[in-house]
Amino acid sequence: MLNTEISARRETAISRGVGMQTQIYAERALNAEVWDVEGQRYIDFAAGIAVVNTGHNHPKVKAAVTKQLDAFTHTCHQVLPYENYISLAERLNNLVPGDFDKKTVFVTTGAEAVENAIKVARAYTGRPAVIAFGGGFHGRTFMGMSLTGKVAPYKQGFGAMMPDVYHVPFPIDVHGVSTRQSLDALEKLFKADLDPKRVAAIIFEPVQGEGGFYPAPSELVREMRALCDEHGIVLIADEIQTGFARTGNLFAMEAYGVAADLTTMAKGLAGGLPLAGVCGRADIMDAAGPGGLGGTYGGNPLGIAAAHAVLDVIEEEQLCARANQLGSKLKQRLEAIRQNTPEIIDVRGPGFMVAAEFNTPDGKAPNPEMTNRVRQEALKRNLILLSCGVYGNVIRFLAPLTIEDEIFAEALDILEESIQAAREV
């Protein structure tokens, strides 16, 4: 079977609204390698968009899922509960940053986690408004895309967004937006358009994902925490892409010295199985009445089993330290390439959540064309890369944290070749 044959079938069977980065159809995968239906082998620097942080088909995750599969696949926790749902909640309550009593609820997707965090914040505060940031990404459901600070492609053609959602600029030095300007924008919002006593929550990503892998400055996070404390606002950290060792800590918020009230998580939580959650202050999480939270598939037993194994692997294989080691090597290589590549204007990111941003050779304008050429040249050489950013001019690097050293070195050589080839077009 050929990729082109399957692609032709896809055109007649799948909605065009499901975007595709490649037309490579996977047949099997192991750790950081994927083989397609034609037998071609690829190095995966996407990891399912930061989902398989522990690698494709990790033996411990696979064994945990197999064991659970032999027991049962679904009862609906709200009908016939199971102990490992509770024990996973207990583990996360201890692991999520914040020196306070916590409770957790499990759902199925990251967007669903965000929706439930907003529901909980509104129930707790009795307030309707939510503040988010330009460039942020929080999902494709109506509240999720309303919170998302990027129009194309997420909001185009879908009509009116949810009410009482406000955006302020996210601080990005390379785009001329300082932390002070972001904080001033918040202050102006409170003065001109929105009484802070109407605000239920402020939601942010510690490192913006789809927006371009921009880390939130420490000053911004501390000041938001102080503002939320002053006005009784719930602070929500969206750790869906940053979570589970990707940034060099289990959760990115560990680096900031302050804690969010609620944390959303998904992606890397269950090693490829659909599982998401919201964890936060016990009194806030208890604001919703019985039946107000949950869902038929929320906390599916297979996902719960996989998540326990993922947490074990992260600890046993010291993947937080591994993320820092890999990220350091990648940034060193990118900085070396940058010396002869004026299009690269920035290399950034904590741990192994690293990005390179491309501008025109004069440095004055975003260069999505160059960025896409780099991605395409890498694909020709069997390296899977992802782009991101409001301007589409950022390459993000999301290989599994378990990638073997020799495969990582091979990928870096391909990356350098691809950047050079993209410049020569």
> If you write DSSP's letter for every residue of 293-337 in order, what string do you get?
S--TTTT-HHHHHHHHHHHHHHHHTTHHHHHHHHHHHHHHHHHHH
Do the Cβ atoms of 208 and 137 come closer than 8 Å? yes
Q: Which is nearest to 136 in space by CA: 53, 236, 227? A: 236
| Residues paired with 359 in a beta bridge | 366
Packing angle of the helix pair 301-316, 83-95 (nearest 10 deg): 40
In order of 367, 371, 395, the CA distances from 387 in angstroms are: 12, 7, 4
The residues that are catalytic are: 137, 238, 267
Q: Would you state the structure tokens that stand for residue 406, as one six-digit string? A: 């020799």
- In Å, how far are 91, 93, 363, 394 from 301, measured between CA atoms? 16, 19, 50, 37
228: nearest Cα among 279, 296, 173, 281:
281
406 burial via Cβ count (<10 Å: 0-12, 13-18, 19+)? exposed
Q: 3-state class of 140 per DSSP?
A: coil
Give 201-241 as a DSSP string: EEEE-SB-TTTT-PBPPHHHHHHHHHHHHHHTPEEEEE-TT
- Residue 69 DSSP class: H
**How far is 216 from 203, CA to CA, in rounded Å?**
12
